[in-house]
Amino acid sequence: MARRICLFPGTFDPVTLGHTDVINRAKDLFDELIIGIGINSGKVPMFSVEQRVAWFQEIYKDDPKIKAAAYEGLTVNFCKEVGARYILRGIRYVSDFEYEKAIADMNRMLDHDVETFFLTASAEHATMASTLVRDVLKNGGDVSRFVPGAVAATFKKHFG
């Protein structure tokens, strides 16, 4: 039987409890879950890709089913590279679904062997977005209740 490898792509700038909620709820559905940190030349991230990979490595250091890696280019091409037949996407709002469905349809047209799964956000994490966390952080606010401990520790070290 083929291994069920899933890719959870995103920018994760920074990692939030919303991201880890989706990962933690989905990980038992697959044999391996790869968190793919996309490098998008059109976006200027607040945190380096190395930092984002390191956060996931720290958060999931005791879970061998979960790995993190950076990638550039088409998500379906990275799926082929890592042997993933599934893509996982988290959905917070109806508007997220419309946008994500368009991407899933395009990915399916590019590679019929890749299937996208959508997982809705838990109620307590539905309003969490990296953009909002960055805004609070940039304005000196405390984001520790919105991010995993490893991320909060980095913020404390760098932002006081």
Q: What is the CATH number of the domain that holds 60?
A: 3.40.50.620
Q: Residues 45, 13: contact at Cβ < 8 Å?
A: yes
- 102 is written with which tokens? 């368009």
Q: Is 43 annotated in the active site?
A: yes
CA dist 107 and 115 (Å) reads 8
Provide the residue range defining the domain that includes 153.
5-157
Q: Is 134 annotated as a binding residue?
A: no
Q: Is 130 annotated in the active site?
A: yes
**For residue 57, which phi and psi values (nearest 5 degrees)?**
-60, -40
Q: What percent of the chain has pLDDT over 70?
A: 99
CA dist 121 and 139 (Å) reads 26
Total domains, the chain: 1
Q: Write out pLDDT tens, residues 63-97.
A: 999 999 999 999 999 999 999 999 999 998 888 89
Q: What's the confidence (pLDDT) of residue 160? A: 60
- 130 is written with which tokens? 């990296």
Q: Is 123 annotated as a binding residue?
A: no
Q: Is 4 annotated in the active site?
A: no
Q: Is 108 annotated as a binding residue?
A: no
Which one from 3, 4, 43, 80 is the annotated catalytic residue? 43
Q: Write out pLDDT tens, residues 90-116.
A: 998 888 899 999 999 999 999 999 999
- 73 is written with which tokens? 């280019």
From 82, 84, 90, select the one nearest 117 (Cα to Cα). Answer: 90
